[in-house]
Structure 1
Amino acid sequence: MHDSTQSRRTARNSLLIMVCTLLSRLLGIIKARVLGSVFGATAIADVINFTFNIPNNFRKLFAEGAVNAALIPAFSSLLGRNEKHRCVRLFALLCTFQSLLLIPLVLVSYFYGDGLIAFLSDFDANQVRLGGRLLPFFMVYLATISLASIFNGVLQAHENFLHAYLSPLLFSICVIFGVWFLSDRYGAMSMAYSVLGGGLLQGSYSYLMVRRYEYRFKPMLRPQNAPFKEVLVAWALVSLGMGMQIITQMVSFLFASHLSEGSVTAFTNSTIFYQTPYGIFFNAISAVSLPLMSRAAASNNAPLLRTYTRNSLLSLLALLLPSSIILFFLSRESVSVVLQTGNYTLADATLTALVLRPYLVFMVFSAWYALMLRLGYSANRHALMTRIVFLQNLLDIALMWVFLKLGLDIVSLPLANGIAYTLGLFILFFLLRDLFPLTKEARFFKGLLRIVLANLPVLAFCIFYKNLGLQWHESGSSFANLAYLMLIGSAALGIMLLSYKIARIPLLSLLRSKKHGGNLQGDNLIHLD
């Protein structure tokens, strides 16, 4: 009974995360359209986007991935050993540390905002003054969501994924309605007030949810029995890796800016399409599996850790492989239907689709690489994982340079990225072979073969469609073309679901398994405890 109950819970958690991530992406599109509608492509919009990007870069270091990779394994391990009192103390210490770190940043932005904007930009005097007024509000938002990331990490360690992934939606909703209704009265400052309100709403909601588990936000400076130092070291190491990823992203845009006109836009837009299926499915799998893997590692339960890792890898393959195939063959159609309107031409859409395809070829390997990093984090091997992240990013930059020299143009960027992730994946398989011995994983290869074979009908359908040479998408964005795209995509999806049913691959039973490893027979192909 315990196995079936846990299986249903983990499947439900994965589905909830998928839905919340999808809603987040949709709200992000709506937010972008509202901001574009209100502020357009004006000098004011440039200041808003530039200034808001400052806390967004800090967010990658103080919140989101960096915090979760260090925090969730620590809390999950303590909870797995029934050491709740140490969790409560660690929570208070982390909140105090974040506050002491971020309050000075807020104060500096308030007293020296104009100077910071002037130093970082080439704006004129009016734009600098506007940026200086916006920056303190945006930095308070950084403080609230950085604390919210701690709250949400604790919620995930307690396997409360609904509220952890629901709270960010509140921020987007607040910004959308705030800018829409306040812009006539407050102009650009409507963005400042909306961002501030959204950040406070997100943080307050997450804190109210975490209080239900008896955690309290109170000043505390003495670690005593809490593993505070260990978490800070892990946090610092993961932040170094995130910093390296930011540098690689900046280098990518630098390379793209030296190519032909439209290359930067094509590169940016291609990542939007790639990140949609990747973000939805990877978040659903990794968010549920990381706390479980951390608890298994803390209890030295090697068979259970292998099971969680194996089934997470297979779940990612079952979800991302058909996504890659369908979007690869419908890349031009998808980009044209979504973006080709006004000054965005068919040539622009074609270039974006060209950049998108290498990302899709390597999407499964990229997701596996990220999951194996989390396996290392769950076993507290943060230093080793940081070295791998540095190596992978340096390899990415080197390959971009080589491919550009070979004349591959803008395709060099996604191709280098995919190859670097794939090589990093095999390095991780080798270095983490004591946690997940790939060469001894017959069940993994059996599951892999079954999923690949089940996707052959989808591949055949997509090849058949592409050989028809239909050009309906060339007219660009319209309701009729959207209907065509949905019809073709639905047909491919229907073939995939039928094929998976015949192969007995249960998509809705994500992350389910027997406690002692289970098997890969029938409906137990993709499962966790």
Structure 2
Amino acid sequence: MSIWKSSAAFGGMTMISRVLGFVRDVLLARVFGASAATDAFFVVFKIPNFLRRLFAEGAFQQAFVPVLSEYRETRTRAELREYVDHMFGTLAAVLVVVVSLGLAGAPLLVMLFAPGFTDDPGQRELAETMLLITFPYLLFISLTAFAASTLNAFGRFAMPALAPIWLNISLIAATLVAAPFFEQPVMALAWGVFVAGILQLFFLLPFLARLGLLPRPRFGRHPGVRKTLRLMLPAMFGASVTQINLLVDTILASLLVAGSVSWLYYSDRLVELPLGVFGVAIGTVILPALSRAFARGSDEDYNRTVNGALRLTLLIGVPAMAGLIGLAVPILATLFQYDAFTAMDTQMVALAMTAYALGLPAFLLIKIFAPGFFSRQDTTTPVRIAVISVLANLGFKAVLVLPWVFLLGGHLAHVGLALTTVMAAWVNALLLGWTLRQRGAWQVEPGTRRFISRITLSALIMAGLLLWISPPAEVWTAWGAGMRLAAVAGMILLGVLFFVVAAALFGQTPRRLWAVVTFDRDVPPERG
């Protein structure tokens, strides 16, 4: 129940941020469309975000929270405070060096992340200029991740989940207010990112002060810091493998027709909604819980937490996958197809979104299984599995996408990029779960396979019915924005109803589904 309440608090606040994020993306699509300039912005925005997830939300969080939980459980308050101060000082020093190197090497970074921009000097120059503005965002947002991780370790999940709201507010203001004052309007977005980093950091600092853990940067050797860094180095790759695979998509998409990067961005954003609201929430909440269970030596609590999170993740992820596939065009036409965003853009994004949606359960499972290793202070195993996943991703692209691009002209190649990324995500998720089980750290509860098969069949029925009753694309675009929104909302509610009824017919009654959501162990998860 504690995990349920924490996940609900985190997910609720994240939902607020994500909804505002969709408002942001609707405005971006309507004002800027999918063009060479927006491709340039999305690439330079991805660079500090990729490094943020590599250094901060990926590797640092997965290494820092278990060590912080250990200090909280076994050390004095003074020792805990000393560790936090030294860790903050070390992280800040490393970030200053990384940001300085990034600013000095901006042209090289653009060439590395978007080699296709070299064919368009204007696009390349625009990307380099925007990167000089956006790259310091890495410093502020990584320190924000430090503050968020500390709050999460102490059971404070709501405010860290709400912090990203400032990024959305800043970019909305940049789009509506600042853009007209720039010769190149998209430059306003780069300044919006810079301001957002500062706002998010200073939003969380008062909450750290309430815990009595407002960091005072200290430097020098510290055993806790050394332990964190040892765990962080392999985790830097393992925790960010999904982002690495998505980054490969961006690099290759820069070689395709103009708009390809934007199509992948918008499709990824929609799949990120359930992943960000539910997957990140559950993964963030269970990491401290698993770390404390491991520190206490409680295998029962550890196993119960993993199994409960697994069922909840699949109960959310499988129907969400089916819903995104069944309502791809209606959702995109409702959110984005206005002004500069064309019908062709909607079709291109819908195809990529369908491909990404097939990997949603895998993306969510990674959020569950990876903390299973990190909480045990094992960062080596996820790295080995991540290497296999990345190599598989590259192999899939070499076999399935590159011939498509060079021999067949690359028509719809961005869909192939999304699909091969999904294939690699499934390799990663299945290997993580299998290894965790083989080592005896996780025991699968009876009835789990039956539960998975039943919700999968229910979700397939839901997707089929949604595709059957959904009007053609031209009908959606003939309606006004209000009518489209009302129709999509009605279709989503119908989809939920279809799933619940189908699940009940297979033995997963609403009461049992709710028991999965609330981690209620007194209600059997299935019948028969």
Alignment TM-score > 0.5, same fold: yes
Whole-Å separation in 1 of the counterparts to 2:14 and 2:229? 28
The letter for the 2-side match of 1:233 is R
Structure 1: stretches of 5+ with no match in the other structure: 1-6
Which amino acid counterpart does residue 88 of structure 2 have in structure 1?
C
User: Is 1:159 aligned with 2:163?
Assistant: no
Q: Which amino acid aligns with 1:163?
A: M
Q: Given that residues 369 and 428 in structure 1 are in contact (C-alpha distance below 8 angstroms), is that contact kept between their aligned partners in structure 2?
A: yes
Q: What is the deviation of 1:512?
A: 2.9
Partner SS state of residue 227, structure 1:
helix
Partner deviation per Cα, 1:287-318 (whole Å, 9 max, x = no partner) = 11111011111222111111111110101011
Asked whether the equivalents of residues 92 and 219 of structure 1 are also in contact (C-alpha less than 8 Å), the reply is: yes
Say which is worse superposed, 146-155 or 424-433, in terms of deviation: 424-433
1:322 aligns with 2:319: yes
Counterpart of 1:210 (choices 208, 214, 228) is 208
- The answer to whether 1:236 aligns with 2:229 is no
Say yes or no: does 1:334 pair with 2:335.
Answer: no
State the 1:376 CA deviation: 0.7
Q: Secondary structure at the match of 2:163?
A: helix
2:134 touches 2:193 (CA, 8 Å); kept in 1? yes
**TM-aligned CA distance change 1:441 to 1:106, over 3 Å:** closer
Using a 3 Å threshold, how does the CA distance of structure 1 residues 492 and 66 change in structure 2: closer, same or farther? same
1:64 equivalent in alignment to 2:71: no
CA distance in 2, matches of 1:203, 1:405: 42
Write out aligned runs for 1:123-272 (5 A).
138-177=134-173, 180-182=176-178, 194-224=192-222, 226-241=223-238, 247-256=244-253, 264-272=261-269
- Name the SS for the 1:394 alignment partner: helix
| SS of equivalent residue, structure 1 residue 229 | helix
Following the alignment from structure 1 to structure 2, what is the Cα–Cα distance between the partners of residues 435 and 86? Answer: 33
Corresponding position of 1:374: 371
Kindly provide the CA deviation profile for residues 252-296 of structure 1, in whole angstroms up to 9, marking residues without a partner as x. Answer: 234445667765554333222222222221022111111101111
- CA offset digits 1:472-501 (Å, max 9, x no partner): 655527333332222222112134356568
2:430 is matched by which residue type in structure 1?
F
Mapped contact 1:266–1:355 kept (Cα < 8 A): yes
Is the alpha carbon distance of 1:462 and 1:299 closer, same or farther for their aligned partners in structure 2, counting shifts above 3 Å? same
Q: Work out whether residues 264 and 352 of structure 2, in 8 Å CA contact, stay in contact via their aligned partners in 1.
A: yes
Which residue of the other structure, out of 15, 20, 25, is the alignment partner of 2:18? 25
Residue 98 of structure 1 aligns to which amino acid in structure 2? L
Deviation at 1:192, TM superposition (A): 6.3
The 8 Å contact of residues 330 and 476 in structure 2, kept in 1 or not, is answered as no
Q: Which amino acid aligns with 1:212?
A: R
Instruction: Tell me the distance in 2 between the aligned counterparts of 1:353 and 1:299.
Output: 47
- Taking only aligned residues, the RMSD between alpha carbons, in angstroms, comes to 3.9
Specify which of 506, 511, 519 is matched with residue 512 of structure 1: 519
Secondary structure, aligned partner of 1:63: helix
| Structure-2 change in CA distance of 1:181 and 1:464 (3 Å) | closer
Q: Is the 8 A contact 1:337 1:473 kept in 2?
A: no
Within 1, Cα distance between the matches of 2:509 and 2:170? Answer: 45
Identical pairs, percent: 21
Q: Which amino acid aligns with 1:96?
A: G
CA distance in 1, matches of 2:292, 2:180: 52
Match of 1:350 in 2: 347
8 Å Cα contact 1:318/1:507 also seen in 2: no
In the TM superposition, residue 183 of structure 1 has moved relative to its aligned partner by: 5.3
Q: Which residue number in structure 2 is paired with residue 441 of structure 1?
A: 444
CA distance in 2, matches of 1:359, 1:131: 29
CA distance in 2, matches of 1:115, 1:441: 50
Residue 363 (structure 2) pairs with residue 361 (structure 1): no
- TM (norm. structure 2) is 0.81
CA distance in 2, matches of 1:193, 1:261: 24
Aligned-residue offset at 1:244: 5.8
**2:409 alignment partner in structure 1:** none
Query: Which string of whole-angstrom CA distances, capped at 9 and with x for unpartnered residues, describes residues 367-405 of structure 1?
Result: 213321111111111022112111111111101222236
- In structure 2, runs of 5+ residues without a counterpart are 405-411
Could you say if the C-alpha distance between residues 303 and 256 of structure 1 is closer, same or farther in structure 2, counting changes exceeding 3 Å?
same
Is the 8 Å Cα contact of residues 369 and 429 (structure 2) preserved in structure 1?
Answer: yes
8 Å contact from structure 2 (residues 170, 193) kept in 1: yes
> What does the per-residue CA deviation read over 1:100-119, in whole Å, with 9 as the maximum and x for residues that have no partner?
12334555678x58877998
Task: State how far apart, in whole Å, the 2-side matches of 1:266 and 1:125 are.
Answer: 21
- Aligned equivalents of 1:358 and 1:486: distance in 2? 23
Quick check: 1:88–1:215 contact (8 Å CA) kept in 2?
yes
CA contact (8 A) 1:155 1:210 kept: yes
Change (3 A) 1:267 1:435: same
Distance in 1, matches of 2:450 and 2:456, equals: 10
Contact 1:99–1:143, Cα closer than 8 Å, also in 2: yes
For residue 432 of structure 1, give the secondary structure of its aligned residue in structure 2.
helix
- Give the number of equivalent residue pairs: 507
Q: Is 1:399 equivalent to 2:402 in the alignment?
A: no
2:495 to 473, 492, 511: 492
